[in-house]
Amino acid sequence: MLPDIDKLSLPEQVAQMIVVRASGFLFDHQIQYPVWEPPAATLQHWVQDLGVGGVILLGGSAGELAIRTQQLQKWAKTPLLIAADIEEGVGQRFSGSTWFPPPMALASIFRKDQKLGLDYAQKMGAITAQEALAIGINWVLAPVVDVNNNPDNPVINVRAFGETPDEVSQLACAFIRGAKTHPVLTTAKHFPGHGDTAVDSHLDLPVIPHSLQRLAEVELPPFAAAIASGVDTVMSAHLLIPSLDPQLPATLSHKILTGLLRQKLGFSGLITTDALVMGAIANRYGATEAVVMALLAGADILLMPVDPEEAISAVCTAVESGRISRSRIRESVERIWQAKSKVSCEPVTTTGFIERTAQKDSLEIVGEILQQSQIIHGSALALEQLIDVIKLNNKQKVNLYNIIIVDEIINCAFLDKSAPVITLTNQVGYKIQIVDSQTQNTSNLEENHPTLLQVFIRGNPFRGSAGLTKAAEDLFKKLLTTKGLQAFVLYGSPYVWQQFIHILPIEIPGVFSYGQMPAAQDRALRTLFGM
pTM beyond 0.85: the answer is yes
Region 367-395: what's the mean pLDDT? 89
Model confidence at 436: pLDDT above 90: no
CA–CA separation, 420 vs 404, rounded Å?
Answer: 12
Is residue 199 very low, low, confident or very high in pLDDT (cuts 50, 70, 90)? low
Per-position b or e across 392-431, b if 16+ CB within 10 A of its CB: ebeeeeeebbbbbbbbeeeebebbeeebbbbebbeebbbe
The residue-averaged pLDDT of 421-444 equals 82
What is the model's pLDDT at position 287?
Answer: 84
Closest by Cα among 519, 461, 455 to 492? 455
Q: Which of 80-89, 190-199, 234-243, 369-378 has the lowest mean pLDDT?
A: 190-199
Q: Which has more pLDDT, 307 or 347?
A: 307
Could you tell me if residue 503 is left (phi over 0), alpha (psi between -120 and 50 degrees) or otherwise beta?
alpha
Say which range, 138-152, 180-194, 400-414, has the weakest mean pLDDT.
Answer: 400-414
Q: What does the alpha-carbon distance between residue 138 and residue 131 come to, in Å, rounded to a whole number?
A: 10
> What pLDDT was estimated at residue 397?
87
The mean-pLDDT minimum among 81-85, 111-115, 162-166, 458-462 falls in 458-462
Closest CA to 90 of 119, 69, 72: 69
Which residue, among 77, 74, 89, has the nearest Cα to 121 in the 3D structure?
A: 89
CB 482 within 8 A of CB 453: no
Over 70: is that where the pLDDT of 74 sits?
A: yes
Average pLDDT over residues 516-521: 96
What is the per-residue pLDDT for 378?
86
Q: Is the pLDDT of residue 324 over 70?
A: yes
Tell me whether the omega of the peptide bond preceding residue 192 falls within 30 degrees of 0, making it cis: yes
Round the average pLDDT of the chain to a whole number and report it.
91
Whether residue 202 lies in the annotated active site: yes
Q: What pLDDT score was predicted for residue 281?
A: 84
Residues 158/114, Cβ–Cβ less than 8 Å: no
Q: Which of 85, 200, 245, 274 is catalytic?
A: 274
With bands split at pLDDT 50, 70 and 90, how would you rate the model's confidence at 203?
low
Q: In this predicted structure, what is the pLDDT of residue 118?
A: 98
How much is the pLDDT for 466?
46
CA 376 vs. chain centroid, Å, equals: 26
Q: What is the mean pLDDT of residues 139-156?
A: 88
Residue 461 has pLDDT above 60, yes or no: no
Task: Give yes or no for a contact between 343 and 490, defined as CB atoms under 8 angstroms apart.
Answer: no
Q: What percent of the chain has pLDDT over 70?
A: 94
Residue 446 has pLDDT above 90, yes or no: no
Is pLDDT at 526 greater than 50 in this prediction? yes
Going by pLDDT thresholds of 50, 70 and 90, the confidence category of residue 441 is low
What count of residues does the chain have?
531
Distance between CA 111 and CA 242 in Å, rounded?
Answer: 33
Q: Give me the pLDDT at residue 530, please.
A: 87
Least reliable range by pLDDT among 129-138, 227-236, 286-295, 470-479: 470-479
Catalytic residue among 190, 194, 202, 238: 202
The pLDDT confidence band at residue 125, using thresholds 50, 70 and 90, is very high
pLDDT at 382 over 90: no
Mean pLDDT within 300-319: 97
| pLDDT for 25 | 96
Residue 447 pLDDT > 80: no
Residue 467: is its pLDDT beyond 60?
no
Beta-carbon contacts of 380 under 8 Å, excluding residues fewer than 6 positions away, are none
- pLDDT of 218 above 60: yes
d(CA 394, CA 528) in angstroms, rounded, equals 17
Q: What is the pLDDT of residues 21-57, one digit of tens each?
A: 999 999 999 999 999 999 999 999 999 999 999 999 9
Q: CA-CA distance, 349 to 469, in Å (whole number)?
A: 45
